[in-house]
Structure 1
Amino acid sequence: MINCLIIDDEQAAIDVIKFHSKSIPFLNVIAESLGPVEALEIIYTQKIDLIFIDIHMPELSGLDFIKLTKGRSKFILTTAYKQYALDGYEHNVIDYLLKPISFERFLQAVQKAQDILFPVAIPVENTTVNAMKTKDFIFIKTDNRMQKVFFSEILFVEALGNYVTFNTTKGRFVSLLNMKDLEDDESLPHDNFLRVHRSFIISLDKIEYVEGGYIYLDKDTPIPLGDTYKSQLWTALDSRTILSKKSY
């Protein structure tokens, strides 16, 4: 989990970052400040991993604030002025966000922050991967821990940019992967997990019914069925059904 501080002299700008942060499971906004002087006390009394800071503020500029912190935290600059981008990178900031900040651009910036603050440094030998494939579980790297999940607990996997969400009977786990990573690595056994949409992989065991272009894992969880994946689904279900594929 990345502990964050937001510093901006405009509350509306703070609110935008807080709103975006709510959709990122590994971000924890623990404080906000309308002034850099007040914020100095916060970073010396609390553990702050990442600071979102505006460049133009009346008391102290964002760049001067960075100098005063002496490397205690990492920074993402936020500003309405393009011309300060170079100054920001000279101060070794993680990224530079131009207002108004879109969620897509915000996600890119915090992905960089996660890579820098908590790099994935767990080498996995091929022999280990092969051994795991014979088991009935996988480990998912989520936040700062490795979460064990049994195949039988996985309902579906959903793409979220450079991340995927494993939706399980235990809850949701977000990991820095993409769909291609999952398919190439073959961590999920192909005899029971099938890609049915560019954004979804499902467990065949969890299907309740298929109707109207959607796969229902239960009545409240419709998963869209992409046209290019229909034939694969019918083939996978063929050996498990008493109905002809022609019915669809």
Structure 2
Amino acid sequence: MINCAIIDDEPLAREGLANYVREVDFLNLTGLCENPLELLPLLNEQNTDLIFLDIQMPKMNGIDFLKVLQRPPMVVITTAYPTFALEGFQLNVLDYLLKPITFERFFKAAAKARDYHQLVNADSPRATDNYFFIKCGTKYEKVVFEDILYIEGMQNYVTIYTIKGKYVTMLSLKNLEEKLPANAFIRVHKSFIAAVGKIDGIEGNEIFVSGSRIPISRSYRDMVLEKVVFKRLIDKR
């Protein structure tokens, strides 16, 4: 079940979307808000997975609201203005619905949210698994653990660098980290995870991985040295 909230300053638009939500068996309506500021308590008090967000509203428009959210849930824009589509997708919205919204179009967006929610919340890979799938745009990509060099997180999406290329997908770094084998990967920075076996060297505040330099933060450095270097260090002693 996906918990969702609707934010729209037009009462008829709110009720229309609410009726659509009630028709979809995998959606659970947790809030109806006139403006984004009313949503904030819901985000703090309830587990809101998805928001249907209007753009042109008093006090704060939807785009500005998305920009200030630290970790936004899945977002489907609902608006009468097509001109904000590019900016919306740059903020990683899941879908962009133009009013008047038909139930068929609404259901398509809801199904997309369900598929993404299931992918993000899938069980961690078993020890015998050596790969996972992620969604990149409209394609599902297979990523083999052994191919991963390092992973960079930025807000609510990550870039996975592998020996075959890089993949960009809408996931948080924390969520992806939970799916990785702990013995094979290590957090080296708030925004970076490295494959232990692919680390070629460490110098100062940088880690070298297959020709790339990635930062290592002070808070992680001792742990990384202990796990990656000291257990295999040969010295004069």
With normalisation by structure 2, the TM-score equals 0.53
- Pair 1:93 & 2:79 matched: yes
Q: Identify which of 142, 150, 153 aligns with 1:159.
A: 153
Q: Percent identity?
A: 29
Structure 1 130/106 Cα, relative in aligned 2: closer, same or farther at 3 Å? closer
Residue 156 of structure 1, CA deviation: 0.5
Asked if structure 1 preserves the Cα contact closer than 8 Å seen for 2:125 and 2:179, the reply is no
* Residue aligning to 1:144: 138
Asked if structure 1 preserves the Cα contact closer than 8 Å seen for 2:135 and 2:169, the reply is yes
Amino acid in structure 2 at the alignment position of 1:113 = D
* Residue aligning to 1:195: 187
Inter-partner Cα distance in structure 2 for 1:213 and 1:189 = 25
Asked if structure 1 preserves the Cα contact closer than 8 Å seen for 2:150 and 2:160, the reply is yes
Structure 1 96/230 Cα, relative in aligned 2: closer, same or farther at 3 Å? farther
* Residue aligning to 1:40: none
Asked if structure 2 preserves the Cα contact closer than 8 Å seen for 1:163 and 1:177, the reply is yes
Inter-partner Cα distance in structure 1 for 2:180 and 2:167 = 15
Asked if structure 2 preserves the Cα contact closer than 8 Å seen for 1:216 and 1:222, the reply is yes
* Residue aligning to 2:95: 113
Q: How many residues align?
A: 154
* Residue aligning to 2:217: 226
Inter-partner Cα distance in structure 1 for 2:129 and 2:214 = 27
Kindly report which structure 2 residues correspond to 1:1-248, keeping only aligned pairs within 5 A, or say none. Answer: 92-93=78-79, 107-108=90-91, 110-113=92-95, 116=109, 118-121=112-115, 123=118, 129=123, 132-183=126-177, 186-219=178-211, 221-237=212-228, 238-243=230-235
**1:132 match: secondary structure:** coil
Asked if structure 2 preserves the Cα contact closer than 8 Å seen for 1:94 and 1:112, the reply is no
Amino acid in structure 2 at the alignment position of 1:231 = D
Amino acid in structure 1 at the alignment position of 2:173 = M
With normalisation by structure 1, the TM-score equals 0.51
Inter-partner Cα distance in structure 1 for 2:157 and 2:176 = 11
Structure 1 228/97 Cα, relative in aligned 2: closer, same or farther at 3 Å? farther
**2:226 match: secondary structure:** helix
Asked if structure 2 preserves the Cα contact closer than 8 Å seen for 1:97 and 1:106, the reply is no
Asked if structure 2 preserves the Cα contact closer than 8 Å seen for 1:132 and 1:138, the reply is no
Q: Summarize deviations over 1:20-45 as a string: whole Å, max 9, x none.
A: xxxxxxxxxxxxxxxxxxxxxxxxxx
Structure with bigger gyration radius: 1
Any gaps of 5 or more consecutive residues in structure 1?
1-75
